[in-house]
């Protein structure tokens, strides 16, 4: 007997389950198919202001009151103390030179702290994926999605009218017919193999390798004298996505509320080869032996799960949709963990897919709509990849690296503010890649950064400065801040004209975003 569904969602990571949940709210019949079972280890943990805003908006639009608290630290901890997460107040970067302790430059030229939220309550989070994904899969099932874990799938037939899938589960086989297959199984996932889809490449991005695990007993940099400062940082540097950057790669350190730490390295092929990264733990030790201050942070640390080695982190599908199928952005492309672009890219794709399911399901234009949306998802991944490629090219020159990151922070915070004002059209696609002036300026800056002409360094810095100015609503252009950027309501008031907003609209935005009214009044001109 053939079971029939409107949608088959393949993969019950957060993206597949959230999509299934939304589709159920829109009245579609859904089967959610998972190869493994929950809870399970998954990588990709650090959210961002834009990701959380998207999650919140999806929860509001599709009546998901149980999902909404997961979009901010305070609400999450109050609603679900047993679903583990970590506090993320911002993005912390420290620059290291091989064989030398962290320099702790008095002018802070070797560090960058960009606050993402004004206080803990509305802060972003690190998602402990075993808990988070299990929660969402349970929600999808409770909403009526047919959830099948431990399922091996194969494509029996497919055409524009849909897919027939063979599903083996616990020794029995079934046949599933779905009008649309949504692939949420990650890079090089189910449809990539089943349909033999072509893989493209990000032209400038190194074929990085990853090595990562979870740890306990990792020291907080705030407790290490090396990082001490007489000034008060914009937020505790450890309550963040903490990046240690160095020539050839970077290490992430993400801290969960119970003290568990997610850490790993993304390394260029040259560094990965040099470290023999596929060795796992010994390679991690070899890496830390080159970075004395990071080694001190991990002295006494112990892994709680085995190291995972990924030989090729980046992936880009040649196409992300076809007759009867579409890939979520997370199955269509992955760039690098740098700047936490995975979640917002994925959520933007889910947002578009939800609109298509809502408005165009019975319309003959649905395939064209899915195809356009998929092309946009790939364009957004290409934009992120270009910026990350430029950053990889400048690990050795931290001031330029830090300046390049402002392209991300300017675009992301502008997009967040524009969305909060109900004007998301102002910012365009992810990283404002489709913005008429910022998009081309971003490309120009990245191309310059990818060039090797040292004579053009100052020109590059000036070009970045001009590029971010029209979108900078968080004070990134203010060099007196010496690489520490707090959330300051005054910056948003000063940048109101860039958003076409009045003072009252900005004050309202800040109140809704969780800045105490007193802070708003104090900052208002
Ligand atoms: C090293 C690393 C670090 C990252 N860090 C960040 C970060 O800090 N912030 C960020 O925003 N993004 C990050 N990302 C990206 C992030 O991991 C992804 O955006 C996110 O996991 C996507 O979620 P997902 O649910 O689509 O996919 P996944 O979490 O990959 O889930 C896919 C699911 O599909 C299932 N599956 C796979 N194949 C099949 C099959 N054939 N049949 C059935 N089921 C199948 C799997 O078992 C899994 O449950 C990182 C990625 C990597 C590789």
Cβ-Cβ contacts under 8 Å for 67 (sequence gap 6 or more): 18, 21, 55, 58, 59, 136, 139
Cα–Cα–Cα angle for 149, 151, 154, rounded to 5 degrees? 145
276: left (phi over 0), alpha (psi -120 to 50) or beta: left
3-state secondary structure of 180: strand
CA atoms within 13 A on the CB side of 245: 27
What integer pLDDT is reported at residue 453 of this predicted model? 75
What integer pLDDT is reported at residue 511 of this predicted model? 87
Question: How far is the centre of ligand 1, averaged over its atoms, from the C-alpha of 42 (Å)?
Answer: 7
Question: How far is the centre of ligand 1, averaged over its atoms, from the C-alpha of 133 (Å)?
Answer: 10
Which ligand 1 atom minimizes the distance to the CA of 46? Answer: 8
Question: How far is the centre of ligand 1, averaged over its atoms, from the C-alpha of 58 (Å)?
Answer: 19
Q: Is 127 in the pocket of ligand 1 (CB under 6 A)?
A: no
What integer pLDDT is reported at residue 522 of this predicted model? 55
What integer pLDDT is reported at residue 516 of this predicted model? 57
Q: Is 212 in the pocket of ligand 1 (CB under 6 A)?
A: yes
* Dist. CA 220–CA 431, nearest whole Å: 31
What integer pLDDT is reported at residue 226 of this predicted model? 86
Question: How far is the centre of ligand 1, averaged over its atoms, from the C-alpha of 184 (Å)?
Answer: 8
Question: How far is the centre of ligand 1, averaged over its atoms, from the C-alpha of 11 (Å)?
Answer: 9
Q: Is 12 in the pocket of ligand 1 (CB under 6 A)?
A: yes
Closest by Cα among 51, 61, 41, 50 to 15: 51
* Dist. CA 67–CA 136, nearest whole Å: 8
What integer pLDDT is reported at residue 227 of this predicted model? 82
Q: Is 155 exposed, middle or buried (0-12, 13-18, 19+ CB in 10 A)?
A: middle
As averages over each run of 10 residues, the pLDDT of the chain (525 residues) reads 96 98 98 98 97 98 98 98 98 97 93 95 97 98 98 96 96 97 98 97 97 98 86 95 98 98 98 98 98 97 98 97 97 97 98 98 96 98 98 96 98 97 96 97 96 86 97 96 94 96 93 66 54
Q: Is 328 in the pocket of ligand 1 (CB under 6 A)?
A: yes
Helix (H) or strand (E) holding 375: helix 366-393
Mutate to test the pocket of ligand 1, among 44, 128, 147 (most ligand atoms within 8 A of CB): 44
* Dist. CA 259–CA 266, nearest whole Å: 23
* Dist. CA 173–CA 193, nearest whole Å: 20
Q: 237 near 277, Cβ under 8 Å?
A: no
What integer pLDDT is reported at residue 520 of this predicted model? 54
**Residue spans of beta strands (DSSP E) within 437-503:** 484-485
Sort strands 172-183 and 162-169 into parallel, antiparallel or unpaired: antiparallel
For ligand 1, atom 49, the nearest C-alpha belongs to: 13
For ligand 1, atom 35, the nearest C-alpha belongs to: 11
For ligand 1, atom 19, the nearest C-alpha belongs to: 342
CB-CB neighbours of 281 under 10 Å: 12
pLDDT tens figures, 449-504: 999 777 799 999 999 999 999 999 999 999 999 999 999 999 999 999 999 999 99
CB-CB neighbours of 68 under 10 Å: 18
217: left (phi over 0), alpha (psi -120 to 50) or beta: left
pTM greater than 0.75:
yes
Q: Is 337 in the pocket of ligand 1 (CB under 6 A)?
A: yes
């Amino acid at each position: 007997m053939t079971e029939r569904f409107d949608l088959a969602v393949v993969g019950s990571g957060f993206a597949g389950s959230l999509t299934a949940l939304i589709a159920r709210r829109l009245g579609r019949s859904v089967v959610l198919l998972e190869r493994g079972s929950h809870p399970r280890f998954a990588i990709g943990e650090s959210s961002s202001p834009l990701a959380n805003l998207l999650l919140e908006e999806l929860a509001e639009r599709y009546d998901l009151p149980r999902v909404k608290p997961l979009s901010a630290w305070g609400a999450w901890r109050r609603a679900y103390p047993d679903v583990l997460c970590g506090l993320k107040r911002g993005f912390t970067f420290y620059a290291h030179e091989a064989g030398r302790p962290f320099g702790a430059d008095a002018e802070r030229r070797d560090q960058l702290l960009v606050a993402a939220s004004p206080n803990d309550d509305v802060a972003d989070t690190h998602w402990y994926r075993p808990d988070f994904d299990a929660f969402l899969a349970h929600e999808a099932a409770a909403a009526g999605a047919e959830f099948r874990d431990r399922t091996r799938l194969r494509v029996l037939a497919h055409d524009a009218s849909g897919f027939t899938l063979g599903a083996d589960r616990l020794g029995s086989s079934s046949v599933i017919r779905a009008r649309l297959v949504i692939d949420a199984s990650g890079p090089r996932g189910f449809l990539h193999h089943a349909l033999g889809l072509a893989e493209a490449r990000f032209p400038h991005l190194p074929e990085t390798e990853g090595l990562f695990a979870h740890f306990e007993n990792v020291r907080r940099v705030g407790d290490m004298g090396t990082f001490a400062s007489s000034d008060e940082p914009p937020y505790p540097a450890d309550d963040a996505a903490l990046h240690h950057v160095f020539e050839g790669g970077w290490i992430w350190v993400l801290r969960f509320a119970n003290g568990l730490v997610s850490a790993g390295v993304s390394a260029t092929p040259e560094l990965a080869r040099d470290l023999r990264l596929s060795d796992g733990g010994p390679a991690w030790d070899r890496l830390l032996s080159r970075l004395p201050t990071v080694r001190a942070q991990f002295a006494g640390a112990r892994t709680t799960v085995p190291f995972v080695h990924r030989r090729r982190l980046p992936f880009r599908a040649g196409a992300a949709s076809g007759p009867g199928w579409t890939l979520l952005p997370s199955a269509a492309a992955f760039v690098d963990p740098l700047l936490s672009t995975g979640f917002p890219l994925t959520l933007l794709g889910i947002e578009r897919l939800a609109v298509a399911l809502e408005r165009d399901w019975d319309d003959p234009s649905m395939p064209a709509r899915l195809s356009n949306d998929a092309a946009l998802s790939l364009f957004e991944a290409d934009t992120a990849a270009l910026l990350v490629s430029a950053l990889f090219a400048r690990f050795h020159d931290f001031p330029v690296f830090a300046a390049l990151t402002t392209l991300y922070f300017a675009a992301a915070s502008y997009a967040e503010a524009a969305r909060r004002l109900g004007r998301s059209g102002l910012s365009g696609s992810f990283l404002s890649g489709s913005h008429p002036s910022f998009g081309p300026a971003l490309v120009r800056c990245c191309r310059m950064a990818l060039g090797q002409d040292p004579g053009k360094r100052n020109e590059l810095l000036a070009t970045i400065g001009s590029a971010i100015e029209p979108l900078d609503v968080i004070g990134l252009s203010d060099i007196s801040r010496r690489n520490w950027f707090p959330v300051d309501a005054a910056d948003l008031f000063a940048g109101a004209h860039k958003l076409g907003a009045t003072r009252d609209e900005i004050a309202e935005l800040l109140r809704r975003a969780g800045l105490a009214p007193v802070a708003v009044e104090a900052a208002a001109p």
